[in-house]
Structure 1
Amino acid sequence: MSTDRGMPVKRDANIQDVENDEFPILCETCLGNNPYVRMIRVPYGKGCKSCGRPFTNFRWKAGTDARYKSTQVCQMCAKTKNVCQCCVLDLTFGLPTQVRDTFLARQQVLTMPIEKANRAVYMQEMEKKVLPPYRTLFTEVNATLLRLARKKPFYQRNLPQLCSFYARGCCTRGKSCPYRYSSHGGILCRHELPHDPNDPLNKQNVKDRFDGKNDPVAQKILERIKQQEKDEERERKEVISRYLIKG
């Protein structure tokens, strides 16, 4: 495009480079147990749920009986926080970022800007660095994180969601139903029944999990850890009191 004077107009000077990757950053659980997994690759197929930039989207079936999964955040955001592009859990420990950052030292936690404009500038600065920030900061691993870390992949997380119509006894789709009936001989167990709609776990979203704020899964884990610490402290006091009484 040119003006009447013949000078070209400078356009799109501030448009950021768009990712064009060949393979996503995934944890072993999200990748699935099929070694011959096939993926659908869509360049510029989705906007990152963290920074909003378009990125190459991947979609695949994580196992024979699993559901289809897709990437949610761009690779730069995943590298910055050291998380999986699909489940947005930490790649090293398999925990939510809120749990990981709680037990890491303060100098090891990276805080990303909340505003979109500031976050875009922050991501541009991160792209200039060779090594992902969280990879270089894991010099001292917290003992609690090692205890909480998931040692093996949890493939049951990839199973389809339960069929609510089958739970009410009115599903007519049979084998063609894309949802799961049950994994225990056709009988729904108590923990497999549909959850309470007011349950905080039903209000999960990718952005809160990535930012490590108001994540219901992380809050549940932290509450469980606090309860365990209280129980251990109570048992320790009981042992000390018994020892003093016997002495």
Structure 2
Amino acid sequence: MSKAESKLNWEDSEFPILCETCLGPNPYVRMTKERYGKECKICNRPFTVFRWNPGVGMRFKKTELCQTCAKIKNVCQTCVFDLEYGLPVQVRDTALNVTDDAPRSDVNRQYYMQQLDDKLEAGTIGHDQKGKASPAGRQLLKQLARTDPYYKRNRPHICSFYVRGECNRGNECPYRHELPEPESDLSKQNIQDRYHGTNDPVAKRILARASKAGHLNAPEDKTVTSLLLRGVEKDITEGDLRDYFYAFGEIKSIKVIHDKKCAFINYMTRAAAETAVDKALGNCIIKGNPLRINWCKPKPLGPRSEIAKEASKGEKPTAGQPPLPPGSEKIVYPSQGNATAIASQ
């Protein structure tokens, strides 16, 4: 690097700072590198631009921020989402009570970035040292965090010629042949607002959904005594769940499905299930893994159960229904609370 470039503090890096989603599933991804190929959209300093294709059927992506700006906020250089939780900066800063005091004017911003460069080299600054992270904030982030990559975010853009009905390339067109969704607040995103954590429509939706999730309405059917747990990792066993949830009441059965990362807990009484929801909702962490709790819905019993119900009342089956076999009136069907539970969405 020349003396003039060193004075300007331009960035010359060998590899970008990316999240798993932007990098893609291919471990042998190829990248093109262009030194000082673009100005950072935050600090306006030239930096090394990387460009690559995350995978088959995806669009080419490139870095948008310099590494100094990315390290300050601990975000991806492309999508500007937090690297640890995979969430927008506004969601993370709200949960951790972090305030953004970066200057917006050009002169002050250049001086501010130079000071932060020195601190980053000395290792005396972190992305959340400006705020006091509470345990509740950390727990909220763990519950909202995306654990798996969201490759749908790398899809090609919609073909504008297809929208106008003029695209004649067919399957060879590298863009998506879909009609755009109606215009909403998500179509007015700004990378600077996303970076500074202000007026981010994606973050607002996540925070609104999180505030509603703090309260879970119980189903009207009082026979429902089953709960659905999501986020159950492979190291969580049935015994771990029993040890945690037995304190709220007597448990009838527990079923763990590791392939779906979920589990079903069936209590003996409705009161025990309600107590478990009140005490564990938003606070259930087992072996460092936060679990999401939901009420279950009873599985539909089917038409034969309705016939049996009518027969037990002494009513005749309605027209078009086959008669019950002899002795079927004495069949005892399981209650709805014992039926296989289906998660309420």
Q: Pick one of 188, 192, 212 that aligns with 1:227.
A: 212
CA distance in 1, matches of 2:79, 2:209: 21
Give the TM-score, by structure 2 length.
0.56
Q: Pick one of 207, 214, 239 that aligns with 2:199.
A: 214
Q: Pick one of 124, 146, 159 that aligns with 2:114.
A: 124
CA distance in 2, matches of 1:53, 1:145: 32
Partner amino acid for 1:152? D
The answer to which structure, 1 or 2, has the higher relative contact order (CA under 8 A, 6+ apart) is 1
Equivalent position SS for 1:128 = helix
CA distance in 2, matches of 1:145, 1:51: 28
Match of 1:6 in 2: none
Partner amino acid for 1:207? Q
Match of 2:176 in 1: 180
CA distance in 2, matches of 1:69, 1:36: 16
5 Å-filtered alignment, 1:37-186, equals: 37-106=29-98, 109-129=99-119, 130-131=122-123, 132-134=125-127, 142-166=138-162, 170-181=166-177
CA distance in 1, matches of 2:159, 2:194: 26
Match of 1:184 in 2: none
Greater strand share, 1 or 2? 2
CA distance in 1, matches of 2:83, 2:134: 15
Identity rate of aligned residues, in percent? 49
Query: What does the per-residue CA deviation read over 1:4-28, in whole Å, with 9 as the maximum and x for residues that have no partner?
Result: xxxxxxx969942111001000001
Report the aligned-residue RMSD.
2.9
Give the TM-score, by structure 1 length.
0.77
- Conserved 8 A contact 1:160-1:179: yes
Equivalent position SS for 1:133 = coil
CA distance in 2, matches of 1:103, 1:121: 29
Structure 1 residue 98 displacement after superposition: 0.5
Count of residue pairs brought into register by the alignment: 214
CA distance in 2, matches of 1:221, 1:53: 32
Query: What does the per-residue CA deviation read over 1:161-200, in whole Å, with 9 as the maximum and x for residues that have no partner?
Result: 233544665531112211123xxxxxx6xxxx41223x11
Equivalent position SS for 1:42 = strand
Q: Pick one of 170, 193, 196 that aligns with 2:182.
A: 196
Which runs of no fewer than 5 residues in structure 1 stay unpaired? 1-10, 182-187
Structure 1 residue 142 displacement after superposition: 1.1
CA distance in 1, matches of 2:38, 2:117: 20
